Every structure is written in structure tokens, then in C-alpha cells.
Chain A
Amino acid sequence: METIDFNKKIYCIDNIKKTAEEFKNLSDISVKEIGGKIKVTFDKIDPEYKDVIKDEFANFVLGLMG
């Protein structure tokens, strides 16, 4: 299991949810708001993408913010 904590003041939850939808075939993904953070949890990650999924996910979200 892997997690990313996005800062709510910087990242928009709608974009994180959209990204989770795009990445759903690569992993089980949950998105939860905890305090000032948006916690994204990746479970059952496609082994082929295990090393890059967190970074790719964060880049995808940032692409939607621009």
C-alpha cells in the first residue's frame, strides 16, 4: 500500500478525484480528506506501475491545476 498527502491549500480535491478515476485501472484508489490534507491511498497496484504510480498520479493532478 502507498499513500500521498496532498495539501488542500494547493491541490483541488475535484482534480484529485478526476485523476483517481483516470488511474483506476492501475490500482484501487481511495481519496479522503483528513484535516488540511487530502490522503490518496493506492492498494493492489499493477506491478508494472508500482515504482511510478505515485509520481505519475501527482503529475497528472498538477496538469489539471495549470
Chain B
Amino acid sequence: MKKEKGFAVLLKKNDNLLEFKINPKIYTLNAIYKTAYFFLDKVYIFLDGDPKKEIKVTMKSKSGMGELEKVASEFYNELLNQLLREKVSYTNAKVREFIVAKALYNAVPNEVDELLKEVEEEDWQEDPLGIAKTWEEQQAEKGEKSKKSKKSRPSLTPSLKLRSTKKLRPMKKKGKK
């Protein structure tokens, strides 16, 4: 496979063993775990390295039939899918929490009241982990301690605002504050 940004085949030891490295600043460790999960029935996978600098993936054929380069290419495609899924999930987490809470409101009013009270205490429009930013933006910010204004979600619909809140955050379990 051709060299992709943040993903490179390091060494093909033999037909049954392949190593590649992944830049965890682009592809999160969580995305790597989830990607690996999809391939566990096809190949053996072992992870090593430093989650802040570089993840080394060792892939071993189960059948002894080789074709590991093809699997590595599929792994890369799935890694991209997982990266997108992660972005979609992360940027929508608070809105999803809100929708579920409102949808099931009648079932557990006390807990949802608590949740809605909690979410009002925190700014859900922030992006503290910078997951919505591109890799270049993150790198640029690191260098210049960005003066950029915060990116924010668009306003919620009027009906939504009336009902609740400007701010949402993931649900916390009781007693774990």
C-alpha cells in the first residue's frame, strides 16, 4: 500500500508478519482499538509504542496464507472510518444526550431533571479536546497558543432553547462528581 499521512508500513518481516506505525496525534488510540476489533477474526494483532508519539501495530496471519498487505490496507480504510465515527460521535455527544433525556423524560423524571440541571451548569459549545479541529489546526495552535476565537456549535432550534438549556454535557453517574 502507498504511504498515507500518519500511517506507514514499517516492515514486512515475512509472509505472515507485518508491522506498521500509526501517528496517534492524528488517529486516536481509541480509533485504533476499534479498528483492531474488526480484524480480530482475520488476524492476530498486537499493539506497542507510545500513545503520545507513535503506535506500533504487529499483524500476524491466522491462516498462514499471507495477504497481510491487503489486510493492512483494509485496516487503514477502517481506521479512517473510525476516525470519522469518532468525530461524529464526539461532536454530537451532548446533543444526543439531550435528545435521549427529553425523549425518555416521562419514564424517569427525577433523573432527567437532575441531568438537565447538570447540563445547564456547563458550556456544551466548547471543544476542549479539539476533536473538531484538523490536525494542522492543532499543530498550529500548539505553536502559537492560538488567538483564534472559539469555534462553537450553531444555536439550538428556538423550541429547544425554550425548553431547556444553552449547555449540555455527557451524563454523570450519581456520586461520581
Q: Do chains A and B touch in the complex (CB under 8 A)?
A: yes
The interface of chain A, by Cβ under 8 A from chain B, is 7, 9-11, 55-56, 58-59, 62-63, 65-66
B44 touches A7 (CB 8 A): no
A7 touches B37 (CB 8 A): no
**How many angstroms between the C-alpha atoms of A11 and B55 in the bound complex?**
12
A58 touches B49 (CB 8 A): no
**How many angstroms between the C-alpha atoms of A7 and B46 in the bound complex?**
10
Closest to B35 in A: A66
A10 touches B29 (CB 8 A): yes
The interface of chain B, by Cβ under 8 A from chain A, is 29, 33-34, 36-37, 40, 44-51, 55, 60, 62
- New A-B pairs, 17, CB < 8 Å, besides A9-B50, A55-B44, A59-B45: A9-B51, A10-B29, A10-B48, A10-B49, A10-B51, A11-B47, A56-B44, A58-B45, A58-B46, A59-B44, A62-B37, A62-B40, A62-B46, A62-B47, A65-B33, A66-B34, A66-B37
Contacts A10-B29, A11-B47, A55-B60 given; does A63 touch B55 at CB 8 Å: no
Give the most central of B34, B37, B49: most A CB within 10 Å.
Answer: B37
B residues within 8 A CB of A62? 33, 36-37, 40, 45-47
**How many angstroms between the C-alpha atoms of A9 and B40 in the bound complex?**
21
B residues within 8 A CB of A65? 33, 36-37
B48 touches A58 (CB 8 A): no
Which 7 A-B residue pairings sit nearest by Cβ, starting from the closest?
Answer: A66-B37, A55-B44, A65-B33, A66-B33, A59-B40, A10-B47, A58-B46
B residues within 8 A CB of A56? 44
A residues within 8 A CB of B34? 66
**How many angstroms between the C-alpha atoms of A11 and B33 in the bound complex?**
10
A29 to chain B, nearest CB (A): 17
B40 touches A7 (CB 8 A): no
A residues within 8 A CB of B51? 9-10
B residues within 8 A CB of A66? 33-34, 36-37
**How many angstroms between the C-alpha atoms of A37 and B51 in the bound complex?**
14
**A/B interface sample: 25 pairs, CB < 8 A:** A7-B47, A7-B48, A7-B49, A9-B50, A10-B29, A10-B51, A11-B47, A55-B44, A55-B46, A55-B60, A56-B44, A58-B44, A58-B45, A58-B46, A59-B45, A62-B33, A62-B37, A62-B40, A62-B47, A63-B37, A63-B40, A65-B36, A65-B37, A66-B33, A66-B34
